[in-house]
Structure 1
Amino acid sequence: MTPSQPSEPPSPTARPSGLQRPEAGRVIAALTGVGVRRHTTDQVILDDIDWTVRAGEHWALLGANGAGKTTVLRLVGALMFPTVGAVEVLGHRLGRVDVRELRAAIGLVSGAQKVPQDATAHTVVLTGATGTVQPLWRKYDQATRERADELLAELDCKELADRPYGVCSGGQRARILIARALMADPSLLLLDEPFNALDLPSREDLIDALHRLAVGRPELATVTVTHHLEELSPAIGHAVLLRDGRVQALGPVAEVLTGERMTACFGRPIEVSRHEGRWLARSGPVEVVRAV
């Protein structure tokens, strides 16, 4: 988006000015001493959050309902500002940068996204180039249309190109939305409960697609919000546990996703196991839990 044309959407697949492709290991997003309060009730939503995401890292963000996961995702996605503390995304501090440029370099996938149900999968992916709900046909050249085809193929749903989005299954919709999010060639991909309401085959198809994406795009950083360890692909290497707006644990998955820490986070006894890169969590009776 240029200063002389503030109402125009960004050019298809063009990277915003000042936002360069991050080098491997470079900081993509950083939260320092971040707190968020609801102004109307003074309720603490997040408290003293410190967290850094680097290029090529794949994070899981876990916690019970109301733990603050979506708020953290909105901060990293430049969709809101903290009450206190600092949020830096792609080298720019929120409050000192045009967040519209930042958002153009961040891919977001959420079930709350508005998508025309009668639009074909190819059309839905095309709208990711302009960041719009409805397609802006004059903005899409042949290269942009071909890129949409390539992304559908990368997410293993090329055969859905001409199918209306509204008749696609939940798993197919999730992969179409990921392809859409990748149209702007983002450095950061945020996935807000992408497995919600998926059946087992659809869940596994999506996990496979995300794993391939991580392998094929080594510079891409991802953050996945989920309630279930079973939904984590083998590519997930780091995790954050949130409880009541505070970080319970963060770091490499082997250190964070333990029975002890999951029990403390969710408030009930949880057993955790791992097999060939995939996780399994099961819970026992609530009354066994000790106070923490």
Structure 2
Amino acid sequence: MSPLRFVAMGDSLTEGIGDPVAEGRRGWAALLAAGLAADVAFHNVAVSGAQTRDVLHQQLPAALELCPDIISVIVGVNDTLRCTFDIHAIAARLDQVYASCARQGALLLTACLPDPGAMLGLPGALARPLARRQRGVNAVVHALSERYGAVHLHAAEGDWVTDRELWSADRLHPGERGHRLLAARFHALLAARGAAAGSPPSREPQLPQPTRSASLWWLATAGTGWVARRCTDLLPQLLTLAADEVRHQVRGSSARLDLIAGHGVAAALAALSAGEQPDAA
């Protein structure tokens, strides 16, 4: 009997940042794979820093060649951290990725994620534009997940977002406990569909929680550089967006920015429903 084939696509979350092991990185997808069946062929093609365009053009072809039975697509946070953010293009790319997976008959796994501004603890004027972008991405992911019958995990909010024991020092990636929680929650959803025959992943970590001093050292060295590389091209635009936030707040018209963003998401999804082909390059 052939093994169950599980392929994971996405960015640093799925690559396993925050869950180091002797062999390198593990992550929620590898933890989930071990509980899917007695015989599983697992391949992780996720790459740290990946955006939706990277998943569409680079990861998807490699993933489909592996003929997966289950395929995960969790991406979009890095798109929100770029000055090129375009919800129409993001929706078009994700639609192409999800449709390609569905055509091949693979069971699709997706998730909504917390906004990076809140996780980093940015000031309100800086955090709100990022939150608005992430809400837009989450709305697109949720709508397309329903369209393609995906197993969708709502991970954008809840106690796990504020529980510091579940997160690594950078505040953007889960630690081992967080990765185990994601794996366990996906396993429960798959088991409810009869798609997970193995035991659920343990939620108890194998390694001790990093000490506060170790976390601070990571932030002062590797962590600061990681965040800087992700946000270099965004910072000038983010400052402009923050200034716009302050102006609207002073005028009492902050809700207008939310309405504009909401209309953008609705238009992006409507374009897909109408069969239009936005630029997904």
- The two structures have a TM-score, normalised by structure 2, of 0.33
- The two structures have a TM-score, normalised by structure 1, of 0.32
More strand by share: 1
